[in-house]
Structure 1
Amino acid sequence: MRHPALTALRRVRTEDVPLVDAFHQRCSPAQLLHRWGRTQLPHRTLGQLLAQADCWLGLGAGDEPLALVCTGPVSRETGVFDLGLQVADAHQRRGIGTALARHAAQHAHARGAHTLSTYTQASNRPMLRLLRRLGTVRETRHGAHLDVRLHLGVSGLARRSSPHPKEPLYAPQCPGQEVAAPA
């Protein structure tokens, strides 16, 4: 995960609620509603998410939380991991989301995933562009939403992004440990 604005990647734990809250304060109510379906993320929801997925905060200068990415297995679908991504309003369209999506893809691939799945509004053009740039996607419409599937196989994202496709770009050795971004 290389991006000039990101200085560290912090794996999120339940005790990181204040840091996640600080990140969400950098997001507009409209963006929070778009991403979570509400303008405030209850702490219980974060706990439920962390029980099912691995999440990281992308940190900038001064440990400012710039983005949140999560990935975890989709129930009932072996080898399919969900991708959740949110970038603070002031830092969007600068490649941060792409860098974190690549990290999440490699993490998922290292844990046996062959596909990343994102369920998003069909009008969410920035997310759709990001996913389409990462590789071949299959989109299935469900009313105003799309189920977007990104293949992580031999010619997929996980193999193109790293010389070591079985390993994430970098992930903390211990939950909550911060890791400096590689040069």
Structure 2
Amino acid sequence: MDTDELGRLLPRELMTARGPVVVRTARPGDLAAVERMHHRCSTDTVFRRYFSAVPAISPTLQARLLETRLALVAEVGHEVVGLGHLADHQGQPVELALLVEDAWQRYGVGLALAEAALDVADAWGIDRVVTYSLQTSTGAHALMRRLRSGALHPQFHQGEDGLVQTVLPLTGPTLRTLSA
């Protein structure tokens, strides 16, 4: 996908009950705002995203998060309140990962980040993405069911390790119509 096509998809604005949120591609200059967002997240929120009990994310990992195949931020003013990624892992499907700070959860920020990432994935010709969550992450599972107005029909698979892999198929005539 060229820069013009990405520019057609992003940025986009979401109007929430708390005010406007802009979803855009991340830039290297966002690192400090991403670090502040991680510090505003509860230990539970960080654990649900990274599956680690470590209360803080290292600056090195935070910088790597902005270097994935696609890194998106949800921004209010100059503060990042959400982060979304499409990440490639050798030999694995492209992974969609989301993190929304606690104060902005349940306002549609995660849904907006996910929809933007899926639109880019479609433009790149990706036929499916996967997400990973905890079995108890019912909010994340509900979000996956709401994507593309419920048209994706996610497939949930629980592994022996307790993680749930959700497969989101992005191909098919109905899905192409929705993203066009």
TM-score (norm 1): 0.77
**1:22 maps to 2:36:** yes
Q: Where does structure 1 lack aligned partners over 5 or more consecutive residues?
A: 164-183
Aligned partner letter, 1:138: Q
The 2-side partners of 1:100 and 1:40 are apart by 22
What do the CA deviations read for 1:116-161 (whole angstroms, capped 9, x no partner)?
101111111010110012221112111311111001112465642x
1:111 aligned to which of 110, 114, 124 = 124
Please say which of residues 83-92 and 1-10 is displaced more in the overlay: 1-10
Q: For residue 154 of structure 1, what is the aligned residue in structure 2?
A: 172
The 2-side partners of 1:18 and 1:86 are apart by 16
Q: Where does structure 2 lack aligned partners over 5 or more consecutive residues?
A: 1-11
2:139 aligned to which of 120, 126, 147 = 126
CA 1:158 to 1:20, structure 2 compared with 1: closer, same or farther past 3 Å?
farther
SS in structure 2 opposite 1:40? coil
SS in structure 1 opposite 2:15? coil
The 1-side partners of 2:153 and 2:159 are apart by 20
SS in structure 2 opposite 1:57? strand
TM-score (norm 2): 0.78
SS in structure 2 opposite 1:147? strand
**1:92 maps to 2:105:** yes
2:90 aligned to which of 58, 65, 75 = 75
Q: For residue 140 of structure 1, what is the aligned residue in structure 2?
A: 157
Aligned partner letter, 1:112: G
- CA drift of 1:106 comes to 1.0
* Higher fraction of helix: 2
Aligned partner letter, 1:141: Q
The 2-side partners of 1:10 and 1:103 are apart by 9
**1:101 maps to 2:114:** yes
CA contact (8 A) 1:102 1:158 kept: no
The 1-side partners of 2:176 and 2:88 are apart by 16
CA contact (8 A) 1:73 1:82 kept: yes
Aligned length: 159
CA contact (8 A) 2:23 2:112 kept: no
What do the CA deviations read for 1:48-83 (whole angstroms, capped 9, x no partner)?
3344432111112x2232211111223213xx3201
Q: For residue 23 of structure 2, what is the aligned residue in structure 1?
A: 9
CA contact (8 A) 1:105 1:157 kept: no
Q: Which of structures 1 and 2 has the larger relative contact order (alpha carbons within 8 angstroms, sep 6+)?
A: 1
Runs in 1 of length 4+ with deviation above 6 angstroms? Answer: none
Aligned partner letter, 1:93: R
